[in-house]
Amino acid sequence: MAPGDLEQVLKSLPSDKWAAGRLLTGSSDNEDAAVLVVPSGKAIVQTVDFFTPIVNDPYKFGQIAAANSLSDVYAMGGEPWCAMNIVCFPGKSGRLDVLEGILRGGADKTAEAGAALAGGHSVEDSEVKFGLSVTGLVDPHSFARNRGLTPGLCLIATKALGTGILATAIKGEWEGADELEEILFQSAGRLNKYPGQLIARLKLKAATDITGFGLGGHLLEMLEASGVAALLHAGAVNILPQALDLADQGLVPAGSVANRQHRQADFAADPQVDPLLVDLIFDAQTSGGMILAVPPALVAEAMSFLLDKGEIAAVIGETLPYAADAPRLRIMP
């Protein structure tokens, strides 16, 4: 992008209260890289994600994209430490106030997460894209991963499903799109901070965030990596307002349909389960919640912690021993 335009936008962003003590150099001195201070005894979690807008409001999009990028750190029980912007923007035809809104949303969400914003990179592109490269810190002896499941664990899911379906309706300017955008933002714009804290607090061994492969796809990844199976109770899964009705009207995005079809041989849904609920279970999420694998003795403490923090959370299933002659995932009413 043109240096003058970028300089103008960056000057409008708030100062970073987390930079002191974490960054020995940074973007304020026009450095090409940042030198970080890493606390002793910590391991680094490194992740990156960016995507095109799923809402119309630039500021909300910036927050959603940042929250989504930060989630991979939280899913391991880590703490976001610093982040760098990744932005693609049509510099010659795009409005700078739109870019400012996106970057301000990202900066505010990064600050809310307690991470320093260490700089970034911009590319002129015909299509807007935004996200973060995030560096987090985690206890190297205690963190969650996909392959940490064992039989007999309870599965807790946070947030409600349906962001892919709502985003499709918003993009198609469906009736009530403004209301749908606010519903989507309130969910996707929320950090997974407290589920991440719970992972560290209870020393959970297995967790993942729910994003593009949907709840069903990401759960199956965990099951395969761990060599176990699971029972999922479809009726216990939280669904965003209007998502089920929109799915019934045919607004299931192609990516969600592909998720379900790709995993057709790996799951079996009871005939009593509404097929629309199965669609929601495989709906491609943006900045979705988490799947947390919790020992039964700790479920009450886990649910109390999450609900006290204002999270939407539910026990949705349990892990089982894997049998080669049975589906990896069974979806029951």
pLDDT at 122: 93
> Is the separation of the CB atoms in 70 and 192 below 8 Å?
yes
| Cβ atoms within 10 Å, residue 2 | 12
pLDDT at 27: 60
Q: Residue type at 58?
A: P
Confidence of residue 214 (pLDDT cuts 50, 70, 90): very high
Nearest-angstrom CA–CA distance, 246 and 182: 16
Report whether pLDDT(4) > 80: no
Per-residue pLDDT of 162-174, as tens digits, reads: 999 999 999 999 9
pLDDT at 208: 98
Nearest-angstrom CA–CA distance, 91 and 75: 35
pLDDT at 93: 81
Report whether pLDDT(13) > 80: no
H-helix or E-strand spanning residue 19: none
Per-residue pLDDT of 274-323, as tens digits, reads: 999 999 999 999 999 999 999 999 999 999 999 999 999 999 999 999 99
Per-residue pLDDT of 227-239, as tens digits, reads: 999 999 999 999 9
14 phi and psi, to 5 degrees? -70, 155
Determine what percent of the chain is predicted with pLDDT higher than 70: 95
Report whether pLDDT(85) > 70: yes
pLDDT at 31: 74
> Is the separation of the CB atoms in 58 and 102 below 8 Å?
yes
Range in 87-96, 110-119, 228-237, 276-285 the model is least confident about: 87-96
Range in 9-18, 67-76, 224-233, 302-311 the model is least confident about: 9-18
Closest CA to 103 of 74, 136, 125, 129: 129
Q: At what angle do helices 96-112 and 58-74 cross, to 10 degrees?
A: 30
50 phi and psi, to 5 degrees? -160, 155
pLDDT at 19: 80
Nearest-angstrom CA–CA distance, 244 and 170: 15
Confidence of residue 18 (pLDDT cuts 50, 70, 90): confident
pLDDT at 10: 67
Which carries the bigger pLDDT value, residue 74 or residue 25? Answer: 74
pLDDT at 33: 86
- Residues 6 or more apart from 125 whose CB is under 8 A from it? 88, 89, 90
Nearest-angstrom CA–CA distance, 243 and 331: 19
Domains and CATH numbers, the chain: 3-138 (3.30.1330.10), 146-332 (3.90.650.10)
| Cβ atoms within 10 Å, residue 10 | 18
Average confidence score pLDDT of the chain: 94
Report whether pLDDT(176) > 70: yes
Cross-strand bridge partners of residue 45: 136
Expressed in angstroms, the distance from the first to the final Cα of the chain is 52
Report whether pLDDT(6) > 80: no
Question: Quick one: average pLDDT of 133-137?
Answer: 98
Q: What is the pTM of this model?
A: 0.94
Report whether pLDDT(209) > 90: yes
Report whether pLDDT(26) > 70: no
Report whether pLDDT(91) > 90: no
Per-residue pLDDT of 27-65, as tens digits, reads: 666 677 889 899 999 999 999 999 999 999 999 999 999
**Which strand ranges, in their side-by-side order, compose the sheet holding 116-124?**
43-51, 129-138, 79-89, 116-124
Angle, alpha carbons 146-150-156 (nearest 5°): 65
Confidence of residue 3 (pLDDT cuts 50, 70, 90): low
